[in-house]
């Protein structure tokens, strides 16, 4: 799988780019979120249906670049004043959206399915996940990214990703030793919090330095490569302290945002020409790499492991799918707003996507999930990945759904 010829990889990437763009645009024309079309391309091309394109390291790297570019873009465009205003709600949504599905999934697994404690913990852990990439892409396509509820979702989804990494590390340790080191966990969370506080400030100073050098050189052509380099550096730094790479990309985007000003350096301002150069230069990269990420999500899904004729499979899958959806949907009831905003927050937190698949894969590798449980979790991840974009489309653009 990994030792593919370079020319074959070129063919795979070409097919992915062409079909992702074509299918995404066709779906969008009929009022269906384009991200659904891109994920479906991955499902059809991958191990679930045709088996034409295997999951491999090169495509994975391109997909990771896609999500990193997307999160940098979101941070770059983020309304920080709005994010601060909804900070409490974002934290509440993230906490409840992590704890409630975890406890609900674990309880159902223990008392309804009669599974052992380790299996129940892993199922609960899998249900805590939220795929921020899928959620943000749909909200951006709907033109709702700067709405109050979207800012709550953005803040909550970033925090939720951090919670997910912490939960995954704890569960993986527990599966091997049957113990949890509280001291290591608290230290781990401290590292992440410190990074989140320091990185945007450091990034902002680097943005000033880049602006200064650009003026001295009388050119802004070197800005985009340097910004991409810094974005990748922040992604690397985030990974090194144990948090998701996308957190580094997001904080780098915030740092270069014209809306982010350090209080004790308020007189300074990122040059407008620099900001415009970043916007215009990175948009083609965003359009190129982001669809690869969503196709990769589909490639990772392996529906062939599912025995659709098994009554046990359907019982487990349907119950856990309901738990997975209601567990996140409940968080929308906790915020102030009309029914549209509350439902939107809830359904925006539902997608598990690649994050849920990572949890499922860890469960399989560690021997916690048998073939049946692994298939069930793949199915649940699939349902929670495909359903929310369609529901969000119905909520906000009901008259145009399926309109030609």
pLDDT value, residue 93? 83
Describe the crossing of helices 371-397 and 339-348 by its angle, rounded to 10 degrees.
150
Residue 227 counted as domain residue: yes
The whole domain housing 282 covers: 6-400
Cβ atoms 167, 358 nearer than 8 A: no
| Eight-class DSSP state of 264 | G
In angstroms, the CA 106 to CA 110 distance is 6
Cβ within 8 Å of residue 366, ≥6 positions away: 122, 172, 175, 176
Q: Residue 383, class by beta-carbon neighbours within 10 Å (0-12 exposed, 13-18 middle, 19+ buried)? A: buried
Cβ atoms 139, 392 nearer than 8 A: yes
Residue 221 counted as domain residue: yes
Residue 352 counted as domain residue: yes
Residue 170 counted as domain residue: yes
Note down pLDDT in tens along the chain; length 404 residues. Answer: 456 688 888 999 999 999 999 998 898 787 777 888 888 898 899 888 888 998 888 888 888 888 888 878 777 766 666 666 767 787 888 888 888 888 999 999 999 888 888 888 888 888 887 777 777 777 877 777 777 888 888 778 777 777 777 777 777 667 666 666 677 677 777 777 777 777 777 777 777 787 778 777 777 777 778 888 888 888 888 777 766 676 677 777 776 665 554 443 333 345 566 667 777 777 888 888 888 988 988 888 778 878 788 888 899 999 999 999 998 888 887 777 778 888 888 888 888 777 777 778 777 777 788 878 888 888 888 888 888 888 888 887 754 443 43
Cβ within 8 Å of residue 288, ≥6 positions away: 17
- Beta-carbon-side half-sphere exposure of residue 103 (alpha carbons within 13 Å): 6
Residue 134 counted as domain residue: yes
Residue 289 counted as domain residue: yes
**Distance (Å) of CA 166 to CA 133, 243, 274, 303, 397:** 19, 8, 37, 28, 36
Cβ atoms 154, 90 nearer than 8 A: yes
Query: pTM score, two decimals?
Result: 0.73
Q: Residue 49, class by beta-carbon neighbours within 10 Å (0-12 exposed, 13-18 middle, 19+ buried)? A: middle
Compute how many other C-beta atoms are within 10 angstroms of the C-beta atom of residue 276. Answer: 13
In angstroms, the CA 266 to CA 273 distance is 19
Residue 1 counted as domain residue: no
- Cα radius of gyration rounded to whole Å, the chain: 21
**Distance (Å) of CA 159 to CA 49, 86, 93, 349:** 34, 13, 9, 12
Cβ atoms 259, 78 nearer than 8 A: yes
Kindly report the CATH number assigned to the domain that includes residue 224: 1.20.1530.20
Compute how many other C-beta atoms are within 10 angstroms of the C-beta atom of residue 254. Answer: 24
Residue 270 counted as domain residue: yes
The total of structural domains in the chain comes to 1
In angstroms, the CA 393 to CA 33 distance is 7
CA 48 to chain centre: 22
Compute how many other C-beta atoms are within 10 angstroms of the C-beta atom of residue 328. Answer: 30
Please report which residue ranges of 218-352 form alpha helices under DSSP H. 223-240, 245-256, 272-300, 311-329, 339-348
Cβ atoms 276, 96 nearer than 8 A: no
């Amino acid at each position: 799988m990994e030792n593919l010829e370079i020319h074959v990889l070129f063919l795979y990437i070409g097919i992915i780019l062409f079909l992702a763009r074509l299918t995404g645009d066709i779906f969008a024309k009929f009022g269906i979120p384009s991200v659904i079309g891109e994920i479906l391309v991955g499902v059809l091309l991958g191990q679930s249906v045709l088996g034409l394109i295997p999951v491999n390291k090169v495509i994975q790297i391109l997909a990771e670049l896609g999500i990193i570019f997307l999160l940098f873009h979101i941070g770059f465009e983020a309304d920080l004043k709005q994010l601060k205003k909804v900070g409490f709600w974002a934290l509440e949504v993230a906490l409840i959206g992590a704890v409630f599905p975890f406890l609900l999934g674990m309880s159902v697994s223990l008392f309804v399915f009669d599974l052992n404690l380790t299996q129940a913990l892993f199922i609960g852990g899998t249900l805590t996940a939220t795929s921020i990439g899928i959620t943000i892409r749909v909200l951006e396509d709907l033109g709702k990214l700067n709405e109050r509820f979207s800012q709550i979702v953005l803040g909550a989804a970033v925090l939720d990703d951090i919670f997910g990494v912490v939960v995954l590390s704890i569960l993986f340790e527990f599966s091997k030793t049957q113990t949890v080191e509280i001291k290591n966990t608290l230290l781990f969370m401290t590292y992440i919090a410190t990074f989140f506080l320091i990185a945007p400030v450091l990034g902002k100073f680097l943005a000033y330095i880049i602006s200064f050098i650009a003026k001295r050189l009388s050119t802004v052509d070197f800005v985009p490569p340097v910004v991409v380099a810094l974005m990748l550096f922040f992604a690397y730094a985030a990974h090194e302290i144990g948090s998701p790479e996308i957190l580094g990309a997001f904080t780098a985007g915030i740092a270069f945002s014209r809306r982010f000003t350090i209080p004790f350096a308020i007189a300074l301002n990122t040059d407008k020409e620099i900001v415009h150069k970043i916007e215009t230069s990175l948009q083609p990269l965003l359009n190129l790499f982001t669809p690869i990420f969503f196709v990769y999500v589909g490639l990772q899904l392996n529906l062939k492991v599912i025995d659709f004729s098994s009554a046990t499979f359907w019982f487990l899958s349907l119950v856990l799918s309901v738990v997975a959806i209601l567990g996140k949907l409940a968080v929308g009831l906790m915020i102030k707003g009309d029914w549209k905003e509350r439902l939107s927050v809830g359904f925006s937190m539902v997608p598990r996507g690649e994050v849920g698949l990572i949890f499922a894969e860890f469960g399989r590798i560690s021997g916690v999930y048998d073939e049946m449980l692994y298939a069930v979790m793949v199915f649940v991840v699939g349902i929670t990945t495909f359903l929310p974009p369609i529901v969000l489309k119905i909520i906000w653009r009901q008259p145009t759904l399926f309109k030609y």
